[in-house]
Amino acid sequence: MLREDSRLRKKIPTITRPDPAYAATLQQGDREIPGKEDEAQVTATKTGTPSADVDADRHEAERAPDGTVAPHQVTAESSDPHTSLRAPVSARALSPTRKIDIRVNALERQEAALQTCGVEPAHVVRAALRRAVKGWQLSPVFVPVAEERRTRNTQWQARTSLAVDAASLSVLLRDHDPLDVLSKWALIRGQVEPRIWSEIDKILEEIAVRAASPHEPHT
């Protein structure tokens, strides 16, 4: 009986050379994914990099600790054009302003020149207003309204809203209209009107010079 049992037992073969099937099972245990060698070969073919270098980069990226950047990798923050090219925002705050409705007439002494200058008088007055307030800043020092005689022709009147410094206006209100019963235009009128009348005179002079020498260029 013992002989028959020994004969029936199969002899376990001894492995004397590498077994491809056994080696494949070992690769699965080492977390090697089938097809990775083919994937590395395709990547190397597309980029022109040897497959050995591609594998080395992949293993290096897998072993890289948190917070580090593996070779041939770019962080999203550095590759974002909006992040890398964004200019710093200025922190300078603008001074608060307050809008005031203004109404400006030309002077009686300017009527004749306005009527004969060849340009619509209303356009001249509006142009003078734009020039007068460009770069102008309201002063907290009150200026009385000028006693010049203004034209009665309301068609030449320039009307607009003017933004003035709120702090300077508050000083004028405190010193000259503490009850806030006057119009705000009355508080700044003495500063604005003389500037506009001066610009009207300058524009009328420029028109007269051009009319006298129409063929000569002027700067």
Q: What is the mean pLDDT of residues 159-166?
A: 94
Digit-coded pLDDT (tens) for 102-123: 999 999 999 999 999 999 999 9
The pLDDT of residue 73 is: 43
More confident residue, 173 or 16: 173
Q: What is the mean pLDDT of residues 152-173?
A: 93
SS3 54: helix
Q: How many CB atoms lie within 10 A of CB 110?
A: 23
Distance separating alpha carbons of residues 112 and 114, to the nearest angstrom:
5
The pLDDT of residue 104 is: 93
- For the chain, the domains span 97-212
> Is the model's pLDDT at 214 over the cut of 80?
no
- Report the half-sphere exposure of 201 (CA within 13 A, side-chain side): 9
Candidate ranges 78-87, 88-97, 114-123, 209-218; pick with highest mean pLDDT: 114-123
Distance separating alpha carbons of residues 142 and 138, to the nearest angstrom:
10
What's the predicted TM-score (pTM) here? 0.55
Residue 106 in tokens: 């030309």
